[in-house]
Structure 1
Amino acid sequence: MTVPGYEDDLALATRLADAADAITTARFRALDLAVERKPDRTPVTDADTAVEDAIRSVLAEARPDDAVLGEERGGSAATGRAWVLDPIDGTKNFLRGVPVWATLIALVSDGDPVVGMISAPLLGRRWWAASGSGAFSSDSAGTRRLSVSGVSSLSDAYLSTTDLNSWTEYHSREKYLDLVDACWETRAFGDFWHHVLVAEGALDVAAECIVNPWDVAAAQVIVTEAGGRFSDLDGAGRYDNGSALSTNGRLHDEVLRILKR
């Protein structure tokens, strides 16, 4: 399908995802996988750095004037056009042999995500979107357009977070449990997975009290183009404010009210 204004950028994002998938699938469950700890004690593998380096190499040739912000090599996305990269979102899953991880690629223009690509090769799934052109996913059954759910009451809502313990440290465990009590069912799908499930309409709310920009830049444009709403936990529509809330839109304000400290 065509994407007015972003055809070339989305095609490039697809090319970047292909390059990432070739590396990650080859290194998944590799016996010689090298693992280090970053200063924040989160793990990084040789696959993480290899993916980011490969993407940066392609971007240096294809988009030499664009900035790059990546989880492993840093950078900035403050102004102009910038590619925001998470080479492996779900590194802990990757390390443990759990197939739920993905490469996240976003193009940000003057602070707003305009193209998002999420590729989860072990799930056989991709999700993508471009500003003003809708959100889509592909799997073995083909390609389909995404749309959020029509659930209008929290008592019927399906909720997910990443890690309950993080709410104690970064926000409020009690507030999150208030949200749990208000919802029909809860899970902890975590990372990219619950945001794209909101975009698909399988979940209604995904809340995270601590994120980095590369964790959710791609998710923001996919969720919003699917008809949902994305913000930080204070309601600002930003991917880079340190927290994230994806909903079907109908429930957003009520969730913000419950989580307000």
Structure 2
Amino acid sequence: MTSDALTDTESAPPFADDLALALRLADAADAISSAKFRALDLHIDTKPDRTHVTEADLAVERTIRELVAAGRPEDGILGEEYGVEGDARRQWIVDPIDGTANYLRGVPVWGTLIALAVDGVPVVGVVSSPALGKRWWAAKGSGAWLSENGGERRRMHVSAVSDLEHASISFQSIAQWDEAGYLDRLIALTRQVWRDRAYGDMWSYMLLAEGLVDAVGEFGVKTYDLAALIPIVEEAGGRFTSVSGEAGPGNGSSLASNGLLHDALLEALA
């Protein structure tokens, strides 16, 4: 799964050069994170918010920052571990390892999230999960794509499920919904749908983009958790807002769907 996956585009789409850079950044990130995954000497620290950070998180973000500075010196960057650098209309947004808790336990559901936002709107997104052997990417106007184990890319599209009673949803974490005061509404929603699961982290949204899950909801999320996911879900034909319906990655919650279910989900959670 390398940046070569982009080479057979029929014509250069909008943000093609930026997407190519994002894929190269993902290549570099994968090399670092894969080398330390399940390593017995992995160094782990606890941050002030009591979440964990590993040496791989830090190394991945440092490397991406260096490559962005070299390739797009006029752009800004926001990363989970090192904050904001620069003040520009174009901002790269990075979660070096989404799913750090999984990563440090050896669970393979984790990935690097890389986005480019222009005037606060994410227009490029790459999610790379080397432990799962998968990479997903999109740029505004060019569709959403998936590559597995370095093979041929294939285009993704969300499902055509239009009724909640037939929908499969991922709610991520009961604790999130409880802390946000939405647990009763979540339980009520699970009684309306066909199937509910907590697939977790970036993987839930990518299952949505692939058409395998119909909706995802989450609380306690930051801009860097969501920015890369938005272009992928939207280019796959889906819709992405907060739980209360606001656009953008900085509202503290997320509700992503195949689009057909979105209004019903907003109403159910209102």
Q: TM-score, normalised by structure 1?
A: 0.97
What corresponds to 1:128 in structure 2?
137
Provide the C-alpha distance between the structure 2 equivalents of 1:142 and 1:107, rounded to a whole number of angstroms: 24
Provide the C-alpha distance between the structure 2 equivalents of 1:146 and 1:206, rounded to a whole number of angstroms: 17
Give the gaps of 5 or more residues in structure 1: none
Is residue 170 from structure 1 mapped to residue 180 from structure 2 by the alignment?
Answer: yes
What corresponds to 1:218 in structure 2?
228
Change in 2 beyond 3 A, CA 1:230/1:30: same
Provide the C-alpha distance between the structure 2 equivalents of 1:67 and 1:16, rounded to a whole number of angstroms: 15
Structure 1 residue identity aligned to 2:127: I
Give how far 1:209 is off: 1.8
For 1:182, what is the secondary structure of its paired residue? coil
Provide the C-alpha distance between the structure 1 equivalents of 2:181 and 2:32, rounded to a whole number of angstroms: 36
What corresponds to 1:139 in structure 2?
148
State whether residues 158 and 185 of structure 1, in contact with CA within 8 Å, keep that contact through their aligned partners in structure 2. Answer: yes
Provide the C-alpha distance between the structure 1 equivalents of 2:28 and 2:153, rounded to a whole number of angstroms: 20
What corresponds to 1:25 in structure 2?
34
Provide the C-alpha distance between the structure 2 equivalents of 1:68 and 1:151, rounded to a whole number of angstroms: 37
Structure-to-structure mapping, 1:91-102, within 5 angstroms:
91-102=100-111
Is residue 39 from structure 1 mapped to residue 48 from structure 2 by the alignment?
Answer: yes
For 1:159, what is the secondary structure of its paired residue? strand
Structure 1 residue identity aligned to 2:122: P
Structure 1 residue identity aligned to 2:13: P
Structure 1 residue identity aligned to 2:170: S
Give how far 1:171 is off: 3.5
Give how far 1:216 is off: 0.8
Structure 1 residue identity aligned to 2:62: D
What corresponds to 1:83 in structure 2?
92
What corresponds to 1:51 in structure 2?
60
Q: Comparing 183-192 with 133-142, which one deviates more in the overlay?
A: 133-142
Give how far 1:120 is off: 0.3
What corresponds to 2:6 in structure 1?
none
Q: TM-score, normalised by structure 2?
A: 0.94
Across the two proteins, how many residue pairs are aligned to each other? 260
Structure 1 residue identity aligned to 2:186: Y
Structure 2 residue identity aligned to 1:16: L
State whether residues 35 and 45 of structure 1, in contact with CA within 8 Å, keep that contact through their aligned partners in structure 2. Answer: yes
Give how far 1:5 is off: 2.5
Give how far 1:172 is off: 1.2
* Identity across the alignment (%): 52
Give the gaps of 5 or more residues in structure 2: 1-8
Alignment RMSD, CA only? Answer: 1.2
Give how far 1:133 is off: 1.1
Is residue 251 from structure 1 mapped to residue 264 from structure 2 by the alignment?
Answer: no
Structure-to-structure mapping, 1:221-232, within 5 angstroms:
221-232=231-242
What corresponds to 1:192 in structure 2?
202
Give how far 1:79 is off: 5.3
Provide the C-alpha distance between the structure 2 equivalents of 1:125 and 1:182, rounded to a whole number of angstroms: 32
Structure 1 residue identity aligned to 2:95: D
Give how far 1:166 is off: 1.2
State whether residues 102 and 118 of structure 1, in contact with CA within 8 Å, keep that contact through their aligned partners in structure 2. Answer: yes
Q: Comparing 192-201 with 78-87, which one deviates more in the overlay?
A: 78-87
State whether residues 51 and 87 of structure 1, in contact with CA within 8 Å, keep that contact through their aligned partners in structure 2. Answer: yes
Change in 2 beyond 3 A, CA 1:220/1:72: same
